[in-house]
Amino acid sequence: MSERQSVLRLDHVTMQFGGVVAVDDLSMEVGEGEIVALIGPNGAGKTTAFNAITGVYEPTNGQVSFLGAPVVRNHPQGKMKKQYKGSDAALYANEPVLRPTPDKLTALGMARTFQNIRLWKTQTVFDNVLIAKHMLKTSSFLSATLHANRAEEADQRAEVAALLEIARALATKPKLLMLDEPAAGMNPQETAELTAFIGRIRTEFGMTILLIEHHMDLVMDISDRIYVIDFGKLIAHGTPEVIQNDPRVIDAYLGVEEDA
């Protein structure tokens, strides 16, 4: 992966809620054009990691870099830099603590879907995609208001809301597409179609994709590399073949056998 250009990079990202450490010192990297999966048992902290990457949460510690530049960063020391003197002050002097909101990260080229699908329910299929393009529009408030020639509602129903969420995310013209359990609730047939669809997004748009998924068929089928986390910690990393045979992954998913 070192020869690929890095699209997303996490350095020691920790996400703490009170006493609960949901993501613990997670470091990972996604290179250009790769499909990388983030897997782990329920409650392992996958979605929390997504939220920390996309700016929904402010990480307790660590740094997220996007397209080679740090976009989210939090060092506890950085917050106290005014009180720091000497070498520590110099270390953080030029590095303000960033708190980018999700919309700014989306503007940089990150787009995501949600595990609990969050479409705008009163809006039509067409409008859902159209609103996602709102960010890219350059006309002013007044001229947009006076621009009367616009489309009427598309009278069609979403058969698969997950696909619509992906379409909506793609409408923001992202450089990194983050999918949070796109196959949730799908049957094997639909999952196979989704797998093919994600593959096409990669080949046709050259899209870099980070994926959270429970359907192992899908994950093993299309991922170039896989990160496995459990209790917020990274426990394994590698190609699908390596992961499938990793005893720690098997333990995490199946539980440690009593007599093992």
Partner 1 sequence: MIDRKAQTRKNLISLAAVLVFLALVLVLDQTIKPTSKAYMLLTVLQKGSVYALAAVSMNLLNGFTGLFSLGHAGFMLIGAYTYAIFTIPSDARDTVYQYFDAAVRVSFPETLGGALGGFGTALGVLLAVLLAGAVAALFAYLIGLPVLRLKSDYLAIATLGFAEIIRAIFQWKKLGPITNGSNLLKNFARCSTFKLKLGETTVSLSTFVPVLIATLCIALIVLLVNSTYGRAFQAIRDDEVAAEAMGINLARHKMLSFCTSCFFAGVSGATMAMVLSIAQANNFKSAMTYEILLMVVLGGIGSISGSVIGALLFISASEWWLRGLDSGTFLGITAPTVFRNGFRLVVFSVIIMVVVLFFRKGIMGDRELPEALRKKTKRGEVSGNE
Partner 2 sequence: MGLWNTVLPYLLSGISVGGQYALIAVGYTMVYGILRLINFAHGDVFMVAGLMMVYFAAAMPLYAAIPLMIALTVLLGFTIERVAYKPLRTAPRMSVMISAIGVSYLLQNLALYITGGLNKNYPEIPWISDKITVFGATTTRVTVITPFLTVALVFALVFLINHTKIGMAMRAVSKDFETAELMGIRINSVISVTFVIGTFLAAVGSLLFFSNYPGIVPTSGAMPGLKAFVAAVFGGIGSIPGAVVGAFIIGISESIIKGLDTILITQGLIAEQVDFSTFSDAVTFVLLIVILVFKPTGLFGEKTTDKV
Residue 107 contact, options partner 2, partner 1, none, Cβ 5-8 Å cut-off depending on partner type: partner 1
Query: Is there binding between residue 51 and partner 2 (CB under 8 A)?
Result: yes
Residue 141 contact, options partner 1, partner 2, none, Cβ 5-8 Å cut-off depending on partner type: partner 1
Sheet strands (E) in 170-246: 176-180, 208-212, 225-230, 233-238
Calpha distance 156→143 (Å, rounded):
29
Nearer to partner 1, 210 or 226 (CB): 210
Of 68, 87, 121, 189, which one interacts with partner 1 (CB under 8 A)? 121
Query: Is there binding between residue 120 and partner 2 (CB under 8 A)?
Result: no
Which region among 51-59, 136-144, 157-165, 168-176 touches partner 2 (by CB under 8 A)? 51-59
3-state secondary structure of 61: strand
Residue 125 contact, options partner 2, partner 1, none, Cβ 5-8 Å cut-off depending on partner type: partner 1
Residue 151 contact, options partner 2, partner 1, none, Cβ 5-8 Å cut-off depending on partner type: partner 1
Q: Strand 233-238 relative to strand 225-230: parallel, antiparallel, unpaired?
A: antiparallel
CB of 61 to partner 2, least distance (A): 18
Q: Are 15 and 45 in contact (CB under 8 A)?
A: yes
Query: Is there binding between residue 209 and partner 1 (CB under 8 A)?
Result: no
Alpha-carbon dihedral sign for residues 162, 243, 31, 66: positive
Distances 29 to 62, 167, 168, 189, 204 between C-alpha atoms, Å: 14, 25, 25, 31, 22
Binding mask 56-75 toward partner 1 (x if CB under 8 A, else -) reads x-------------------
Neighbours of 255 (CB within 10 A): 10
Calpha distance 32→208 (Å, rounded):
6
CB of 58 to partner 1, least distance (A): 14
DSSP string, 1-38: -TTSPEEEEEEEEEEEETTEEEEEEEEEEEETT-EEEE
- The pair phi, psi for residue 256, each rounded to 5°, is -75, 130
Nearer to partner 2, 50 or 66 (CB): 50
Nearer to partner 1, 89 or 161 (CB): 161
Calpha distance 252→195 (Å, rounded):
25
Which region among 61-69, 126-134, 188-196, 240-248 touches partner 1 (by CB under 8 A)? 126-134
Query: Is there binding between residue 17 and partner 2 (CB under 8 A)?
Result: yes
Residues that bind partner 1 (CB under 8 A): 54, 56, 101-104, 106-107, 111-112, 114, 116-125, 127-128, 130-137, 141, 144-158, 161, 164, 168-169, 171-172
Residues that bind partner 2 (CB under 8 A): 17, 47, 51, 56-57, 114
